Amino acid sequence: MAARAPRAADLAELDAAVAGCCACPRLVAWREEVARVRRAAFRDQEYWGRPVPGFGAADARIAILGLAPAAHGGNRTGRIFTGDRSGDVLFAALYRAGLANQPTSVAVGDGLELRHTRIAAAVRCAPPENKPTPAERDTCAPWLHREFELIKPTLRVVVALGAFAWAAWWPILRRVYGVQPPTPRPAFGHGAHWFGGAVPQVLGCYHVSQQNTFTGRLTPAMLDEVFARARRLAGLDDSR
């Protein structure tokens, strides 16, 4: 299925193709099992149970790159970061930064719109223990690369949520922009900043997981700083 990615003419076609991918047997089995068994709090809901496409503006100037959908978040709702605690934190921060029209996201069709921003995951299926294998990451990469090709004309800044997303950027740099990644690779860290000339700048941000937000490793103020910086680098300071 991922071989179809380069042929997608636009984001709508790409998103539809992503949702039908069955390339990774372990991920297919897990996402479908989660959708069948369901968490008790959501037992009356119909789970999406498929790969989760990216979401947001086709002319995005900022891309937010995450790891993978949550088992009972995006895998349930069908929209990345929607319906889980990580999404609660992320969308509230995007709203404060003027990059979303509302601070919450609980379900597809709830009115959420992103401004100048698109969100995507390096791996499109919810993985067991939130840990995709290297082979699954590489199998999924063509979807990610095509998505970045389609938003390339306007994209100025990438916010990488966590070390996994930071690592996923460098193959994009080579495949989409034809630029050889730096050697050695810049180290990930919260607030890390990489600039390589006529390509998008990259900002590192701790992932909005509960492990980080509940412990105070990542605070709302830290997120606000990252997205304010992303706005400035994207040339959006005078735009809302």
- Looking at residue 221, its pLDDT comes to 98
> Computed over its alpha carbons, how large is the radius of gyration of the chain?
17
Quickly state the pLDDT bin for 2 (edges 50, 70, 90).
low
Q: What is the mean pLDDT of residues 64-87?
A: 97
- Looking at residue 239, its pLDDT comes to 53
Cα separation, 212 vs 43, whole angstroms: 28
Mean pLDDT of the chain: 95
Cα separation, 94 vs 218, whole angstroms: 15
Quickly state the pLDDT bin for 7 (edges 50, 70, 90).
confident
Q: How far is CA 50 from the centre of its chain?
A: 16
Q: What is the mean pLDDT of residues 212-239?
A: 94
pTM of model > 0.75: yes
Quickly state the pLDDT bin for 238 (edges 50, 70, 90).
low
